Structure formats: C-alpha cells, structure tokens
C-alpha cells in the first residue's frame, strides 16, 4: 500500500513536471492535467465517468423511460442479429470527449484506460472477442483500429481469445453521419465479410460507439452466417439517443 501511495505520488510529480514543460489542459474542465495515465484529462473528470445504470433495451441497449419495458419498439418490430448490447455510458460529456480524443485526435494511449471502462462486462459464456474492423482506407487514414485496441486489451485482461482476422470490412462506406437508420443499414450491409468460420461460438463484438446499431448488426449477420451461436455487443458509449 505504501509503495502504491509512493507510485501515485511520484506519478503526480512527474505529471506536474511534464505539464510544466508542455502545458496541457483537461478538455473537460480546462484545469491543468495532473496525471500521466489518462492525460490530457484530469483525474477528477476521468474518475467522474460512471457506468450508465438506468433502464435500457435488453437487446440494443437503448436507454428506456420505463423500468418495466424490456425491449424498445424497434427491437420488438425488427429484432437485430445480435442478442444483447452493453455500453459503459451515454455518448456525452467527458466520455464523448475522451472517445473523440482517442479516435479522431490520435491519442492512442487512451486505449488502455478506455478499455478498462469495459471491464464491468461479465464475459461468462463468451468464447471469443472480435473487434468491428475498419476498411483498409480507414485504417490508413487513422493509423490504428480503435475497436481492435480496445478488444485487444479486454481479451488480455479477461483471458479470452481475440479473433481479428476473420471479420473484414471490404468496402469503404460513405460517412454515416446524417443518414437515417434505414439508410445506414443499407449503407453498411454489404461492407462486411467473414472469411472464416466461428462454429457454435458465443462471440463478443467490440466497437467504440453504437449509434443506430447498423454497423454491429451487419457484423452480427455475417458472424451468424459463419456459424456463430450468438453475438453480443459491447461498446464504450451509446449515441444517437435522448
């Protein structure tokens, strides 16, 4: 315990020194960064991110207004290929900012702390973890697949196999922003292929953000066609709601 306190103390000192040399402010509260673990976010903002615990659709994870409903209208009318969705939180405030910095501003070092937020998930019964893939062009532009880094860390911590070479994105779909749910589904349906089999496996599919679910649904359809017994979805944040 004493050693941990010392490490925390010295990490704070180093963070203070680094911040003195290269000043950076927390994107959420503008206070100086006080740590190296999830810099540039400050400890208070990062640790204030709490798991969403309100009622939500048991299939797609959409937050619901009633504690007594189990599924949203959309999942009742047109059940998706995946059977269950869990997200750490709502795409808002510090969580949205952290994902933005990780994904679009290239702060790859946030992969570890963000993956840590996914540790709440009970992986009992899961046989393997698969990340939502990026098309070649997307990978070239970003330099890394944000879902793969999350999935890699989670698989390691949960001691589960990571399958990263079976599900592929073959077509560069147009940006999803501004499209309706139907247009999104049509846009992504053809974009994924499975080049191997996942016979009788319960798969946990990882993505950073879930909006309409069109992307994970297209992936789940392919995985089920490749022999999967079930596909569950785990994301950092649920967006496009409220």
- Least distance (Å) from Zn ion to the CB of residue 127? 24
- Say if CB 207 and CB 218 are below 8 A apart: no
| Per rule CB under 5 A, count of chain residues that contact Zn ion | 11
Residues 166-205 that bind Zn ion (CB under 5 A): none
- Say if CB 4 and CB 10 are below 8 A apart: no
Does 85 engage in binding with Zn ion (CB under 5 A)? no
- Least distance (Å) from Zn ion to the CB of residue 219? 17
Buried/exposed code over 189-214 (b: 16+ C-beta within 10 A; e: otherwise): eebbebeeebeebbbbbbbbbbbbbb
Q: How far apart are the first and last CA of the chain?
A: 43
Over the window 53 to 72, marking each residue x when it contacts Zn ion by CB under 5 A and - when it does not, the resulting string is ----x-xx-x---------x
Of 20-28, 165-173, 179-187, 226-234: span binding Zn ion (CB under 5 A): 20-28
- Say if CB 167 and CB 194 are below 8 A apart: yes
Cis bond upstream, residue 40 (ω within 30): yes
Residue closer to Zn ion (CB basis): 26 or 201? 26
Task: Please report how the helices 181-189 and 214-225 are oriented relative to each other, as an axis angle in degrees rounded to 10.
Answer: 40
Over the window 208 to 237, marking each residue x when it contacts Zn ion by CB under 5 A and - when it does not, the resulting string is ------------------------------
Q: Which residues bind Zn ion (CB under 5 A)?
A: 26, 28-29, 42, 45, 57, 59-60, 62, 72, 75
């Amino acid at each position: 315990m004493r050693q941990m306190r010392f490490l925390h103390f010295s990490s704070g000192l180093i963070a203070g020194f680094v911040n003195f040399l290269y000043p950076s402010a927390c994107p959420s509260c503008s206070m100086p960064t006080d740590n190296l673990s999830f810099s540039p976010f400050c400890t208070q903002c990062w640790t204030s991110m709490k798991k969403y615990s309100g009622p939500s659709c048991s299939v797609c994870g959409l937050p619901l207004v009633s504690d007594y409903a189990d599924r949203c209208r959309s999942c009742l009318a047109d059940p998706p290929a995946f059977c269950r969705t869990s997200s750490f939180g709502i795409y808002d405030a510090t969580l949205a900012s952290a994902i933005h910095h990780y994904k679009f501003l290239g702060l790859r070092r946030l992969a570890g702390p963000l993956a840590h937020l996914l540790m709440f998930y009970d992986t009992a019964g899961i046989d393997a973890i698969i990340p939502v893939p990026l098309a070649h062009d997307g990978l070239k532009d970003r330099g890394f697949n944000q879902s793969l880094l999350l999935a890699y860390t989670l698989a390691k911590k949960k001691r589960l196999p990571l399958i990263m070479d079976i599900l592929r994105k073959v077509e560069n779909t147009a940006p999803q922003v501004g499209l309706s749910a139907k247009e999104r589904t049509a846009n992504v349906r053809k974009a994924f292929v499975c080049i191997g089999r996942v016979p009788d496996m319960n798969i946990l599919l990882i993505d950073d953000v879930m909006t309409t679910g069109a992307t994970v649904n297209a992936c789940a359809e392919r995985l089920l066609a490749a022999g999967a017994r079930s596909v569950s979805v785990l994301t950092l944040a649920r967006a496009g709601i409220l």
